[in-house]
Amino acid sequence: MSDIKSCPACGGRHVSEIYRLDAIPVQSCILLDSEEEARAFPRRPLVLMFCDGCGFIYNRVFDLAMVDYASTTEESQHFSGTFNRFARDLVAEIAGLYDLGGQQTLEIGCGKGDFLQELARQTGTRALGVDPGFIPERLPGADGHDISFQREYFDPATITEAPDFVVCRHTLEHVPEVGRFMHDIARVIDGRQEVGIFFETPDVRRVLEEGAFWDIYYEHCSYFTLGSHARLFRREGMDVNRLYLAYDDQYIIQYAAPGAGKAALPQEEDLDAVRALAAAFPEKVAAIRRHWTDFVRSRHRDGKRVAIWGGGSKGVSFLTTNGLGEEVAQVIDINPFKQGKYLPGTGHLVSAPEDLTETPPDTVIVMNPIYLPEIGAQLADMGLEPELVAV
């Protein structure tokens, strides 16, 4: 097990602990075939450290060897209409900013390839997706859009054509040595000033402000705010051209390019505010954990049937962080590849929304508030009117 005592982003040693869990599942998007296998799934500790020098937050005891992204992981959110509209709008934004027709795009951490396929469709870019968890049969017809895939971890040595545009969505938070990762991207770009860069990464400032423990899990070993995200890029000699929050302020969107030393954007200047939030986080997160544990257990004691909607990382963290088991009767997810599988740690079976009609819940806890309208409409279509709340 690693024990990273200096900041992986800036190398600073003025770091302090802000959160600790003794044992959590080492993967939360993995698909498991039995309750027994799920309950026995490996766990490891998590110790979040805050760097006072750059604002980066990381798991000091993260062990990459415990995480196998080439296994049966299921991270895709593209079964949600809400998420698909967001992704299409992002592609349209990129298409409006860059002329990618005939250009080479590299997506690092392409997942199942949905975003890259939409980018090729809208822009006419030639594309290479790199991800150990890519499943070819999940993206039929991708080659018709001049897309190829390498089912492996990103390694500059295997990228044979220098990209004109680099995409990296929801991958940086899974990388422990973020400074080295940025250096590898710089190697692929190879000093070409005209290359565009697009990153999308979860925002940890919201987690600090809300005490959102359900957004902290083992695979996410690196956590960024707008400022710390931009500072990581500038440290590698890149300019940050556009930086904002999206998806109900949950995700950082950043456009960058090999740099000429442009001045920092106003939204990068967040270090003092983040220092205060980090200092207050231990007390905040303890209070939020107590609130949700009491919420679930009180309804269970009253004989109410509680379901959570979201069988991914948030749901696993919500359950395992607070030791919730039988108090939650059902776990629901619209992703058909998760249905019939079991959650690591607790062994909850993931069911389809339609299953709620047979065993109607009294309370449904939604793991992401942005999906409340979508889920509320689906429940209404099934004739169900449970108490509906979001974390």
DSSP string, 69-82: TTSSB----TT-HH
Q: With contact defined as beta carbons under 8 Å apart, do 285 and 211 qualify?
A: yes
Q: 10 Å Cβ neighbour count for 369?
A: 12
DSSP 23: E
Q: Three-class SS of residue 136?
A: helix
Q: How far apart, in whole angstroms, are the C-alpha atoms of residue 87 and residue 372?
A: 18
Q: How many residues are present in the chain? A: 391
pLDDT for 333 equals 94
**pLDDT tens-digit profile, the chain (391 residues):** 456 679 999 999 999 999 999 999 999 988 899 999 999 999 999 999 999 999 999 999 999 999 987 766 545 455 667 778 899 999 999 999 999 999 999 999 998 888 999 999 999 999 999 999 887 766 666 556 788 999 999 999 999 999 999 999 999 999 999 999 999 999 999 889 999 999 999 999 999 999 999 999 999 999 999 999 999 999 999 999 999 999 999 999 999 999 878 889 999 999 999 999 999 999 999 999 999 999 999 999 999 999 999 999 999 999 999 999 999 999 999 888 889 999 999 999 999 999 999 999 999 999 999 899 999 999 999 999 999 999 9
What pLDDT score was predicted for residue 259? 86
Domains of the chain with CATH codes: 15-62 (no CATH), 81-261 (3.40.50.150), 296-390 (3.40.50.720)
Q: What is the predicted pLDDT for the residue at 138?
A: 62
CA–centroid distance for 121 within its chain:
24
Residue 300 structure tokens:
């269970």
| Long-range contacts at 117-123 (CB < 8 A, ≥ 24 apart) | 117/142, 117/145, 117/147, 118/87, 118/88, 118/91, 119/91, 119/94, 119/95, 119/167, 120/145, 120/146, 120/147, 121/145, 122/91, 122/92, 122/95, 123/91, 123/94, 123/95, 123/98
Contact status, residue 26 vs residue 42, Cβ threshold 8 Å: yes
In which order are the strands placed within the sheet that holds 251-258?
A: 147-150, 126-130, 104-108, 165-169, 196-202, 251-258, 238-246
Are 312 and 368 spatial neighbours (Cβ–Cβ below 8 Å)?
Answer: no
Q: How many other CB atoms are there within 10 angstroms of residue 101's CB atom?
A: 10
The per-residue pLDDT for 303 is 97
Between CA 243 and CA 317 the distance in angstroms is: 28
How far is residue 99's CA from residue 114's CA, in Å, rounded to a whole number? 20
Instruction: State residue 1's pLDDT score.
Output: 46
The helix, strand and coil proportions of the chain, stated in percent and rounded to the nearest 5, come to 35, 25, 40
Coil, strand, or helix at residue 331? strand
Q: Which residues contact 281 (CB under 8 A, 6 or more apart)?
A: 18, 19, 208, 211
Q: How far apart are CA 1 and CA 11, in angstroms?
A: 20
pTM for this prediction: 0.94
> Apex CA 202: angle with CA 200 and CA 205, to 5°?
130
SS3 (DSSP) at 18: strand
